[in-house]
Chain A
Amino acid sequence: MATPINAGDTGWILASSALVLLMTPGLAFFYGGMIRKKNILSTLNLSFIMMGLIGVQWVLYGYSLAFGKNVGGIIGDLSYLGFAGVTGAAGPYSKTIPHLAFAAFQMMFAVITPALITGAFVERVRFKTFLVFSLLWATIVYDPLCHWVWGDGGWLGKAGALDFAGGTVVHIAAGFSALAFALAIGPRRGFPKAPMEPSNIPYTVLGAGLLWFGWFGFNAGSALAANGLAAYAFVNTNTATAAAALSWMLVSWGDAGKPSVLGIATGAVVGLVAITPAAGYVTPLSAIAIGAIAAPISYYAIRFRQKRQLDESLDVWACHGMAGTWGALATGLFASPAVNEAAGLFYGNPKQLALQALGVGSSIVFVFVVTFILAKILNAAMGLRVNKMEEEVGLDLSEHGERAYS
């Protein structure tokens, strides 16, 4: 009676897992180019170390909390502790691929999500506190939220909210947690008066390229099979990203007088974020609209953040939180029954938009409140930021005892 493991599906999911893993060092470079050069190793490492920290946490208990047997719709139980019972045979989430392949694919999502948040507090965070924060955040924010949306019996997924590849679980979660953390830690010394010029925009462009590449695994891999749906997700991912890069270029050209390359690279990432929840539900033409509209939303969200003089340093909220919100809502508008088993407002199902809004709203409130409280507690217990002198010197030397260039 068991469906046999499918070689094509398994091959694609293992390859996709490797693609998604590459996004984390890609993100490290994306962020690393935008900070001052005294903090570049520190910034690269905030992302890179997540491959270590969550790579272990996920095997020990993270996967079980997210995908274990449902407890009240909000969290998984401890049945998969230490990947117990997660084997080469098919599992509850994967009829045609090994359970272990599914768990590995999901691991890469759990790795990159806390790495995304780090853009909020670069150049001032105390590394030790950051490690404790990330471990706790993964445990009490990511794992439960992941269960809500994707876990068997999770309440949001059961209610019918759609999230193909993590618009809510990854991007809204990271974006609004970044906002909460930035409020808790406060601005970098000298912000906003001192110039904080990006030290290496080529790194950022390289990072955006790696993210774009890896995102094919993120979105098309989320079909969990090598099939037509994966092809939709693949094409939609590229199409929305292309549209968003062009759209950002035009907006910045009109607004700033010159088409900023940093802006174009940012636009691509924003397009990737926005299409993530929709990738397996919409047509490629809708993907153009989703990407093209995402860019001005994030562009003006950055402007709003700057006007409020809030040092959410690398605009995780504007780029991931806002584009993720737009993408989740857009899924409720553009979902087409011709692509997948869901219809949005434009295909005669206004209820889907309401469900998307429910998913967005409840996720934002949950991640923002819990992250803010967690950051405040850690600030009192350990201190979120380095001292004045350490910040002046730069975190490469003061936290890691190394320098990037000699």
Chain B
Amino acid sequence: MLKKIEAIIREDKLGEVKDALNEIGIKGMNILEIRGRGRQGGITLAGRSGTYQVDMLPKIQVNIVLSERNLDETINAIMKASRTGDAGDGLIFVYPVEEVVRIRTGERGHDAVMYPGDIDERKQKGAA
């Protein structure tokens, strides 16, 4: 079973999240620069005279497709790397993935998201 993680994180936490994922063997990902707001509803910035409210903040969305069995480790790695404890740390969404096709080889499903040195290969080596 394949899953997709959409992690909404702070812009300045992207580096740490990438390193943490690399550490556990999650290499493939893509990111989007997005704007949004959550419970906090925005922030106050200094303006020309006084302050003003900005209600949509820049965030990074990290997209990862992976096997369900690697989900918890990955979520934990993202949380550990991106949490500050203050409002605005973000959210992680998980969705089921219907199908994946690797365009170069035509591989489908789980085979399409595997690559040398990834989290699964490491686990197999560990087991062997």
Q: Does A348 contact B (CB under 8 A)?
A: no
Chain B residue with Cβ nearest A301: B49
Chain B interface size, under 10 / 10 to 19 / 20 to 34 / 35 or more: 10 to 19
Q: Does A302 contact B (CB under 8 A)?
A: yes
Instruction: Report if B51 contacts A (CB, 8 A).
Output: yes
Q: For the complex, would chain A's binding face be called helix, strand, loop or mixed by DSSP majority?
A: helix
Secondary structure call for the B interface: loop
User: Which segment, of B52-60, B72-80, B90-98, faces chain A?
Assistant: B52-60
User: Please, which residue of chain B has its CB at the minimum distance from the CB of A315?
Assistant: B48
Task: Decide: A256 and B54 in contact? CB cutoff 8 A.
Answer: no
Q: Is the CB of B55 within 8 A of A263?
A: no
Is the CB of A299 closer than 8 A to any CB of chain B? yes
Closest to B53 in A: A195
Interface size on A, residues (CB 8 A): 19
Q: Which residues on the B side are within 8 Å of A318 (C-beta)?
A: 49
Q: Which residues of A contact B47 (CB under 8 A)?
A: 256, 260, 262-263
Question: Would A303 and B46 be within 8 Å (CB), given that A195-B54, A195-B55 are in contact?
Answer: no
Identify which of A197, A256, A259, A315 contacts B50 (C-beta below 8 A): A256
| CB nearest neighbor in B for A319 | B48
Q: Which residues of B contact A197 (CB under 8 A)?
A: 52, 54
What CA separation (Å) do A5 and B51 show in the bound complex?
54
Give chain B nearest CB distance to A265 CB in angstroms.
Answer: 9
Cα distance A262–B47 when bound, in Å? 7
Which residue on B lies nearest to A204, using beta carbons?
Answer: B48
Asked whether any CB of chain B lies closer than 8 Å to the CB of A257, the reply is: yes
Partner of A306, one of B49, B53, B54, B56: B49
Q: Name A259's closest neighbour in chain B (CB-CB).
A: B46
User: Closest approach, in angstroms, between the C-beta of B84 and any C-beta of chain A?
Assistant: 20
- Whole-angstrom CA separation of A259 from B51 in the bound complex: 11
- Which positions in B face A, CB cutoff 8 Å? 46-56
Residues of A within 8 A of B (CB): 195, 197, 252, 255-260, 262-263, 266, 299-300, 302-303, 306, 315, 318
